[in-house]
Amino acid sequence: MCEANAYIIRNGKEELVMEAVDKVEPENDGLRLVNIFGDQKFIPAHIHALSLVNHKVILKE
């Protein structure tokens, strides 16, 4: 599988938002994250950067 963990940068630190993320899609003023188990989460942020070999998706508000 090729999922990644999503982190959000807050106060200069990376906080884990969701593990095993498959899909990230724009929705209203933020993003809908869906993991490989089908769990969903809305985050008022945008995708800042990716480091896929390290399984990291970095979000920023």
Which residues sit at the interface with a second copy, rule CB under 8 A? Answer: 1-4, 21-26, 36, 46-53, 55, 57
- Least distance from a second copy to the Cβ atom of residue 15, Å: 19
Counting Cβ atoms within 10 Å, is residue 21 exposed (0-12), middle (13-18) or buried (19+)? buried
Residue with tokens 């884990």: 16
- Least distance from a second copy to the Cβ atom of residue 39, Å: 14
Pairing of strands 4-10, 56-60: parallel
**Residue among 15 and 27 whose Cβ is closer to a second copy:** 27
- Least distance from a second copy to the Cβ atom of residue 58, Å: 9
